[in-house]
Amino acid sequence: MTMRVLRKGSLKTAAMFGAGMIALAASGGAGMAAVSCGANTGQAATGAPVKVGGIFGNAAPGDFSASTTAARAYFDCVNANGGLNGRPIQYLTENDQWNPELAAQAASKLLKDEKVVAMVGNGSFVEMAVNAPTYKAEGVMTMASACAVSECFESPNIVSTNQGPLPSTVGAAQYMVEEKGSKNVSCIGLAIPDVGPWSCGAMEGYMASKGLAGSSVLLNPASPDVNSALLEAVGSGADTILVNLPAGLAIAFLKAAEEQGMGDSYQWASSTPLYDRTVPEALGAYWDGKMYVNAEMTPWDKGGPDAVNWLAVMDAYAPKEAARDSFSQSGYLSAKIFVDAMLALDPATLDDRAAVTAAITAIKGVTSDLMCGPYYVGEADRHMPNHAGTMVVVKGGGFETVRDCYEYDSPYFAPIFEQEKALGLR
Amino acid sequence: MRMSGVIGVILLAVAVVLLPVLAGGQWVRIFTSTACFALAAMGAAFIYARLGMVSLAQVALMGVGGWVFLRLNHATALPFEANLLAAGLVTSVLGMLLALPALRMRGLYLALMTLMVAGALEIVFTARQFPNGGTGFWGVATSFSATVRRPLLGQSDPAYLRYSLLVMGAGFLLIEAHRRAAPGRAWALIRRSEAAAIASGVNVTLYKTWAFGLSGLLAGLGGGLLAGSLGLLDAATFRASESVLLFALVVVGGARFWFGAVATAVLYRVAPALLNNWGVDADLALILFGAALLHAVITAPDGIAGQILGFVGALRGRMPGVRP
């Protein structure tokens, strides 16, 4: 799907929601949608800045900065529209470069030196595992957006807008079993214990619970060998190969499969990283109609005020080449929910981390067209508000929805459902 | 050298008192890592300077120390110090095993041999990861990592930095004590001529093994301290290439002097952090290291430490009443 077509489609859908929900205007004939951010005053915020932090990982084997880039774009937009009661958000981001030492240093810098009041938009494989205890000790709430490790979903001070690889992988496997008759799924993940083994292991658990077979192939993140991973998957006797890797690595893996002419011999699925609008072009016509991808956030062409506003904010405030993928949607939504909560907070307590943490913890039942279910935080030792997704297939240079919002079926979600019952959300 | 030792103890005392107070949260973390790697650098530097043996497995050995430390932390209720000491001792034994081929090999062949050990350890670390509170021998859980206990005197980050600096100081003093005693004299003789050493009744096997064990001990302590600082470890930290880089920086820092090891660790951990803070890609540090290595090989065989000494010597020579 080209950018031009996408924008036209978005405009058309947004128009249906009416001007009251989102204002559309043609600016200078460019056809760009007007953005809606924060208090929407149109006046730049000039007061003392409110410091907010974010940590992303960008180094081999992948770039997870889409979430902080989108959060920054939204914050910039908010700052141009009245900020937080006249005060701009100073968004400080650090790159952990997939390195635990750097991740710990980044958190210390943001929390102890810069004294940020909250962390928003975090996206990494490493950072949360190292820093989860620090977030708890510092009494700060982290509204992550591209979280990929178990700690993101199983610790008290992190709540992530994205689902993480576990639900996304289970969701993809569930679709392949229910709709495509898969009997034996091989999951290709990264050999980081709380990433690949955690999520692919849950997929194996799901398959076992249905009396079917599942296996995992784990790649060394430092020097991933896609060809041997492919052979291992083939050797497992699988009929379906489920790619659970960062986008760049997943594409390399699929290119290797294409060279071997395996596209039609197996069924193919992926967790959310392949839901990026540049991916169909990168994959090429070979994968058209073959590759089924689980999208953690709703499809970007589904329409709805947030879906339209997200793209408009990205076009207006993010670099042109910035990714428009699930993690970007997630970063935007985390930032928006954070800003809405801060606008409702007593302005005098904006610099008080405890008050900000309490306000974030109190978030409950926020709905957005970017998510299938409601977003909430609450006081709990684990958080996973987003656990229902959409299944799409690579088609005609873009994506086509094959199953709209559906809840995943795994024993893993039982404690989360209990939590939602207690909060009156279920 | 006696003078430099006294200055070292004074500088350490100043660092222990001032660094944790003056440095911000981020720099406390960076200096803690620096202290851990300084221990390992000291281990590599002293066997190079005293015996002329090149170990390209020092960072990998830190990984072994870190692994043992984490495994014991999660499997037992032993205090931090016991786990740290065990990490050092197990790594020391592994270092001694590494010395066995060193008894027969020299120069390039020994260096290649240690590099292969580093490569093998890299594969084990990547395949098996580091213990994080799981069950079984490897102790890897796929869910939330268990907590790592810190020493009683090092609960907060600044206190832990102070603790790490003291362990580093103790490690340096251990090397210095060896240098001044019988092992130091034996090493000096072995370095000059193994045949002469044997003829003089020096037990070459014992002293070479001892040196490797000591070097492993320091690496193990460094790895254990690093694990205590971060709470978990990642295989990427202990790649074979990191061991090679650390050794190259040992040459740049100056292997013959204690402050050479400090310079090595500062280059290894502080320089990339500074570049990061300035918004420059930290990989640029690798280019700087390459240039520094060329400089050291061509013009400064004793590295930065040798140049500092030369500078101090020149200053003293100019001062009236002080003999050069």
Residue in chain B lying closest to A222 (CA) = B236
Tens of pLDDT along chain A (426 residues) come to 333 333 333 434 444 444 333 333 333 333 456 889 999 999 999 999 999 999 999 887 778 899 999 999 999 999 999 999 999 999 999 999 888 999 999 999 999 999 999 999 999 988 998 999 999 999 999 999 999 888 889 899 999 999 989 999 999 999 999 999 999 999 999 988 788 888 999 999 999 999 999 999 999 887 789 999 999 999 999 999 999 998 889 999 999 999 999 999 999 999 999 998 889 999 999 999 999 999 999 888 888 899 999 999 999 999 999 988 889 999 999 999 999 999 999 999 999 999 999 999 999 989 999 999 999 999 998 999 999 999 999 999 999 999 999 999 888 888 899 888 888 888
Picking from A383, A424, A176, A384, the residue whose alpha carbon sits closest to that of residue A296 is A384
Chain A interface test: which of B27, B29, B284 (most A C-beta within 10 Å): B29
B202: pLDDT strictly greater than 50: yes
Contact B237 A105 (CB under 8 A): no
Q: Å from A98 to nearest chain B CA?
A: 9
For residue B53, give the amino acid letter: M
For residue B284, give the amino acid letter: L
- pLDDT given for residue A162 in this prediction: 92
Strands A146-147 and A398-407: unpaired
Picking from A318, A297, A365, the residue whose alpha carbon sits closest to that of residue A337 is A365
Tokens of B234: 């990642």
Cβ pair A126, B234 in contact under 8 A: yes
CATH number at residue A193: 3.40.50.2300
Q: Same domain for A171 and A227?
A: yes
- pLDDT given for residue A16 in this prediction: 41
- pLDDT given for residue B277 in this prediction: 85
Bridge partners of A295, per DSSP, are A390
End-to-end C-alpha distance for chain A, whole angstroms:
36
Tokens of A142: 């982290």
Digit-coded pLDDT (tens) for B233-278: 988 899 999 999 999 999 999 888 888 999 999 999 999 899 888 8
Delimit the domains of chain B by residue range.
2-239
SS3 category, B101 = helix
- pLDDT given for residue A45 in this prediction: 92
Residue in chain B lying closest to A219 (CA) = B127
What residues of B are in contact with residue A193 (Cβ under 8 Å)? Answer: 129, 132, 134, 140-142
Cβ contacts of residue B157 below 8 Å, gap of 6+? Answer: A108, A112, B25, B28, B29, B32
* Residue the block writes with tokens 């339209």: A308
Residue in chain A lying closest to B126 (CA) = A220
What does the alpha-carbon distance between residue A38 and residue A28 come to, in Å, rounded to a whole number? 24
DSSP per position, B137-152: TT---SSPPPP----G
Of B28, B143, B232, the CB nearest to A108: B28
What does the alpha-carbon distance between residue A363 and residue A38 come to, in Å, rounded to a whole number? 16
- Whether A213 maps to a domain, the answer reads yes
Chain A interface test: which of B37, B232, B241 (most A C-beta within 10 Å): B232
Q: Which residue has the higher pLDDT, B159 or A9?
A: B159
For residue A150, give the amino acid letter: S
Residue in chain B lying closest to A112 (CA) = B25
- Whether A33 maps to a domain, the answer reads no
- Whether A98 maps to a domain, the answer reads yes
* Residue the block writes with tokens 């060998």: A225
For residue B128, the surrounding DSSP H or E stretch is helix B107-128
Q: Same domain for A117 and A177?
A: no
- B157 near A CB under 8 A: yes
* Residue the block writes with tokens 């509204």: A143
Contact A106 B26 (CB under 8 A): yes
Q: Same domain for A134 and A68?
A: yes
Q: Same domain for A349 and A231?
A: no
Residue B136 confidence class, pLDDT cut points 50, 70, 90:
confident
If you compute the radius of gyration of chain B from its CA atoms, what whole number of angstroms results?
Answer: 20
- Could you write out the three-class secondary structure of A367-425? CCCCCCCCECCCCCCCCCCCCEEEEEEEECCEEEEEEEEEECCCHHHHHHHHHHHHCCC
Q: Same domain for A120 and A259?
A: no
Q: Å from A60 to nearest chain B CA?
A: 11
Q: Same domain for A236 and A88?
A: no
Tokens of B110: 């020994």
A183 phi and psi, to 5 degrees?
A: -115, -25
- Whether A312 maps to a domain, the answer reads yes
Tokens of A221: 């993140």
- pLDDT given for residue B7 in this prediction: 86
Q: Same domain for A247 and A152?
A: no
Q: Sign (positive/negative) of CA torsion B305, B307, B308, B309?
A: positive
Strands A146-147 and A142-144: unpaired
Vertex A337, ends A331 and A342: CA angle to 5°? Answer: 125
Residues from A in contact with B at Cβ < 8 Å: 95, 97-102, 104-106, 108-109, 111-113, 126, 129-130, 132-133, 150-151, 154-155, 191-194, 197-198, 201, 220-222
- The pTM for the full model equals 0.86
Tokens of B42: 């000291």
B144: pLDDT strictly greater than 80: no
Q: Same domain for A381 and A397?
A: no
What does the alpha-carbon distance between residue B243 and residue B116 come to, in Å, rounded to a whole number? 11
- B273 near A CB under 8 A: yes
- pLDDT given for residue B320 in this prediction: 53
Cβ contacts of residue B312 below 8 Å, gap of 6+? Answer: none
Give the ipTM. 0.87
What does the alpha-carbon distance between residue A195 and residue A193 come to, in Å, rounded to a whole number? 6
What residues of A are in contact with residue B36 (Cβ under 8 Å)? Answer: none
End-to-end C-alpha distance for chain B, whole angstroms:
14
What percentage of chain B has pLDDT greater than the value 70?
97
CA quadruple B202, B203, B204, B210: dihedral, nearest 10? -120
Q: How many residue pairs from chains A and B have C-beta atoms closer than 8 A?
A: 90
- Whether A97 maps to a domain, the answer reads yes
Work out the mean pLDDT of chain B and round it to a whole number.
89
- Could you write out the three-class secondary structure of B70-85? HHHHHHCCCCHHHHHH
Cβ pair A106, A67 in contact under 8 A: no
What does the alpha-carbon distance between residue A408 and residue A411 come to, in Å, rounded to a whole number? 10
Of A111, A194, A197, the CB nearest to B25: A111
Cβ pair A142, A158 in contact under 8 A: yes
Cβ contacts of residue B321 below 8 Å, gap of 6+? Answer: none
What percentage of chain B has pLDDT greater than the value 90?
51
Residue in chain A lying closest to B282 (CA) = A97
DSSP per position, A122-169: -EESSHHHHHHHHHHHHT--EEESEE-SGGGTSSTTEEESS--HHHHH
- pLDDT given for residue A18 in this prediction: 40
Q: Same domain for A185 and A97?
A: no
Neighbours of B287 (CB within 10 A): 9
SS3 category, A200 = helix
DSSP class of B314: H
SS3 category, A89 = strand
How many CA atoms, within 13 angstroms, populate the side-chain half-sphere of residue A45?
24
Q: Same domain for A203 and A107?
A: no
Q: How many residues does chain B have?
A: 324
Contact B142 A201 (CB under 8 A): yes
Residues 193-252 of B with CB under 8 A from A: 226, 229-237, 239
- Whether A84 maps to a domain, the answer reads yes
Say what angle helices B204-230 and A100-108 make with each other, to 10 degrees: 40
CB burial of residue A349 (10 Å; 0-12, 13-18, 19+): middle
- Whether A142 maps to a domain, the answer reads yes
Number of domains in chain A: 2
Cβ pair A271, A146 in contact under 8 A: no
Cβ pair B57, B118 in contact under 8 A: yes
Residue in chain A lying closest to B122 (CA) = A222
Exposed e or buried b for every residue in A290-303, given b needs 16+ CB within 10 A?
bbbbbbbbbbbbbb
Picking from A292, A244, A252, the residue whose alpha carbon sits closest to that of residue A269 is A292
* Residue the block writes with tokens 């405009």: A11
- pLDDT given for residue A20 in this prediction: 38
Q: Same domain for A394 and A248?
A: yes
How many CA atoms, within 13 angstroms, populate the side-chain half-sphere of residue A377?
22
Q: Same domain for A268 and A226?
A: yes
* Residue the block writes with tokens 């993690």: A327
B244 phi and psi, to 5 degrees?
A: -65, -45
Contact A100 B282 (CB under 8 A): no
Largest distance between two CA atoms of chain A: 63
DSSP class of A52: E
Mean pLDDT of B278-284: 82
Neighbours of B23 (CB within 10 A): 18
What does the alpha-carbon distance between residue B94 and residue A146 come to, in Å, rounded to a whole number? 40
Residue B2 confidence class, pLDDT cut points 50, 70, 90:
low
Contact B26 A133 (CB under 8 A): no
Vertex B18, ends B17 and B22: CA angle to 5°? Answer: 145
Q: Of A394-398, B123-127, B216-220, where does the model show the most confidence?
A: B216-220
Domain range spanning residue A115? 49-160+303-386
A239 phi and psi, to 5 degrees?
A: -100, -15
Of B143, B235, B276, the CB nearest to A198: B143
Tokens of A127: 């950072």
Integer CA distances (angstroms), A339 to A34, A52, B30, B81, in order: 19, 11, 33, 46
Picking from A327, A354, A180, A395, the residue whose alpha carbon sits closest to that of residue A267 is A180
Cβ contacts of residue A398 below 8 Å, gap of 6+? Answer: A1, A277, A280, A301
Mean pLDDT of B3-22: 87
> Which has the minimum average pLDDT: A63-72, B97-106, B111-120?
B97-106
DSSP class of A322: S
